[in-house]
Structure 1
């Protein structure tokens, strides 16, 4: 069954000729290694005999400085941009090791022309949609799925290096932190089907506007294979632009007004049911995920699956068995308390969606909101707007924590049930006092914030005291 943990399956070895062919590198001083290379690594701590260590260089680091260490660990092959003459290693010299990693990933991808590859991007919902697709496809055949957040110009080729002959499907998540990144990664993965889930405000600060985010995400359509399909979000306010950006391909749309849409939606505390209408027919879906946004994610997953020829009956089964990723609306029941762990990450739209899920829960409803990062100059305004919207919902308490907590409270016009704290240490006593006040009542807590806020720490502290 599909999981998102590190793969333990053996990787396919590289011959010396393949390594040289993929990178177009030159062996330093003509020293060519003997035997095959079992894997290509970028983490010096794990490099050992039989590996090739690829020395990446960034703005703040240069892995060439770890070459002595990898040699001491028994590693005898390195891929470098600056050879070190004093080392007793076979060094394959390339102009840029970051690009060499891309070439290696692309070479591995090209060895499996019959592999059906799905590429997806979006401002929110990528991880959950990816997990839903993994559940649908892994029931049918071995499937490679992006692990964790390996979705950038380094992570995507690293995932491609894990391809093996038995894989029949691959689900690749592509992230964007600048214009051109998805153009680069979608070229490496050469998808048969590619699509955008939505255009939100994640990374707003880096792009300087939603139009630019739409432009960056739309690069995913640039490298769809001939006769492939573009997936487009019918209910998104950038739908017309996205449709235009994907005009070179046949399209399948999801969401209200799309080819694949939902009716008779029933949202439960921890699950949902709905009728899904598709060009292949209408089916009843039992989804073990809470929230209207996850109905949308399920429609998207179904669109991708249908586009690569998956049967509707298999989609129904796969969605019914899907599990959320760690820190993505995971429910923890403890006595009369429900704790919702949604601490993996946050953006303004996912914060609003999570609040709607909290509203479906039992008892006193407490929202614990950490800061949202990567909003740039819009940070204060976005937190204030969020505070305003959350204050309108029938939540019992909204507790903002962090640098922008006061902006959230100000946006809520300092409503009595909205509280702001600078740190988790300040929040904890208030929270425990709240639990004491309501000790005989059921309570539901939602913990959510951007990754760097580590809201799971606050959740663990609370659980310890319950």
Structure 2
């Protein structure tokens, strides 16, 4: 299987001329000779043959680590302010953050034959990206966004990893403010671009779902081919009006849709319908929401010319990202690790997956972040919805746990993981020797995987 590579031996080297041409910077002192293997922003990893780019933010300034990277034998830096005391070549630019974007653009333009997909959405981005990666990397080397490198710094960092052998790139674009996706999609120059859905993630930053729709729709401003649109979303009308032609839609009522859907505890089966025919799909992912993600992945793949048989084979081989509905069997207990992140939509989808499992069903949830003024109301609504699901208990942990539990005897609220742990261990003792299924989920900052590990250690 071909996958993204970060081996420095495969990377196209940089010269001083390349760096200057890409950034428009000015060399201070001696212009370095030879070739440089990679550009990086983490001073801890800098070594001989690297170029260190000194980023500057509101709360940090990597210029203070220039001395350290020189001690690590790194001889070249891209800076906003020169440090004349150092014996290293320094390329001066007005803004290192924009210089990083310019370097990503420069590298992207060196591969005009690369086929690029860009995707965004409030939920499902990572899983859809992994499904696409499984489809495309069967066929040829594919660059796939790693982890959460989907913002104005992460996207150009991923572009710097492009190699001559890459034939495809799947780029996930996230938004924390208006204009960010416009910026990153301009760097990526996608042939196919699309939105998966408009949910309630990042409500606080955008002042409501209309704002989220506007921000996500920026992805269509730089598409050089097909626009992918959701056929069954509250904002489908707005998205279709904004997106350019040609368009390809997915979901109920769309160009790509599913029938005969069978949902199982850890997988799904369905008949996939596309403009190029239909096929039966065996999907190694649980939940209706992952059928939707597979439909989206299919639409993107079709739009860059992938055959239906290759799509079906790729979906069958796809694997979830770490912390995305990973099933871990431990004695008679099933632990579902869905701790990578959370928003209200994905919380409900995860609960539906848990209801499909065996035995006593316990959902352990942390706070959802980035909901702004709607945080309390969103958690209250989530509590109401979870209380109606076929679950035996919901354990809520964090600042908004009480809001979720309000008036619901099935939901138990705790301020901290340390307080929740004894309750969970008592619950397990109480139900022994019965089969139990646990699902852990919360926003990234809540680190719900820590509580899951603590519970498993007690068994």
Question: Displacement of 1:72 after TM fit?
Answer: 1.1
Q: How many residues align?
A: 459
1:43 corresponds in structure 2 to 42
The 1:160–1:372 alpha-carbon spacing in structure 2 relative to 1, beyond 3 Å, is same
User: Residue 103 of structure 2 corresponds to which residue in structure 1?
Assistant: 104
CA contact (8 A) 1:156 1:172 kept: yes
Q: 1:419, 1:153 → 2: CA distance?
A: 39
Match of 2:446 among 437, 440, 453: 453
Partner of 1:16: 16
Which residue in 1 is equivalent to 2:289? 293
Q: Is the 8 A contact 2:4 2:142 kept in 1?
A: no
Alignment of 1:270-419 (within 5 A): 270-410=266-406, 413=407, 415-419=408-412
- Provide the TM-score with structure 1 as the length reference: 0.97
Change (3 A) 1:437 1:421: same
2:221 matched residue in structure 1 = 222
| SS at structure 2 position matched to 1:222 | helix
Return the alpha-carbon distance in structure 2 between the equivalents of residues 337 and 262 of structure 1. Answer: 32
In structure 2, how many angstroms separate the alpha carbons of the residues matched to 1:177 and 1:66? 27
For 1:364 and 1:352, locate their aligned partners in 2 and report how far apart those are by CA, in whole Å.
18
Task: Check the 8 A contact 1:398/1:417 in 2, yes or no.
Answer: yes
Q: How does 1:234-273 map to 2 (within 5 A)?
A: 234-246=231-243, 248-273=244-269
Distance across 2 between alignment mates of 1:269 and 1:164: 39
Shift of 1:379: 0.7
> Shift of the alpha carbon at 1:8?
6.3
Q: Over aligned residues, Cα RMSD in angstroms?
A: 1.1
Residues 55 and 61 of structure 2 are in contact (CA less than 8 Å); yes or no, is this contact kept in structure 1?
Answer: yes
1:258 CA drift (Å): 0.4
Change (3 A) 1:287 1:18: same
Deviation at 1:73, TM superposition (A): 1.0
Residue matched to 1:136: 135
Distance 1:54-1:398 versus aligned 2 partners, 3 A rule? same
Counterpart contact for 2:134–2:318, Cα < 8 Å: yes
Distance 1:4 1:149, change over 3 A: farther
Say if 1:37 and 1:52, in contact at 8 Å, map to a contact too: yes
Q: Is the 8 A contact 1:368 1:399 kept in 2?
A: yes
Deviation for aligned residue 1:78: 0.6
Which stretches in structure 2 are left out of the alignment for 5+ residues? Answer: none
Task: Give the conservation status (yes or no) of the 8 Å contact 1:2–1:135.
Answer: no
> Hey, what's the Cα distance between the residues in 2 that align with 1:335 and 1:391?
28
Q: After TM superposition, give the deviation of residue 15 of structure 1 in Å.
A: 1.5
> Normalising by structure 2, what TM-score?
0.99
Pair 1:423–1:8, CA change in 2 (3 A): farther
Deviates more, 1:16-25 or 1:112-121: 16-25
- The residue that corresponds to 1:423 in the other structure is 416
* Residue deviations 1:387-424 (CA, integer Å, cap 9, x gap): 001111121001100110000011xx2x2221100011
Q: How does 1:200-219 map to 2 (within 5 A)?
A: 200-219=199-218
1:131–1:323 contact (8 Å) kept in structure 2 = yes
- Counterpart of 2:222 in 1: which secondary structure? coil
1:249 Cα shift? 2.4
Report if aligned partners of 1:6, 1:147 keep a CA contact under 8 Å in 2: no
Gaps of 5+ in 1: none
Greater CA drift, 141-150 or 1-10: 1-10
1: distance between equivalents of 2:266 and 2:447?
23
Helix, strand or coil at the partner of 1:357: helix
CA distance in 1: counterparts of 2:389 and 2:4, whole angstroms: 34
Say if 1:209 and 1:419 are closer, same or farther in 2 by CA, change over 3 A: same
CA contact under 8 A between 1:4 and 1:148: conserved in structure 2?
Answer: no
Q: Distance in 2 between matches of 1:122 and 1:343?
A: 19
Q: Distance in 2 between matches of 1:232 and 1:290?
A: 23
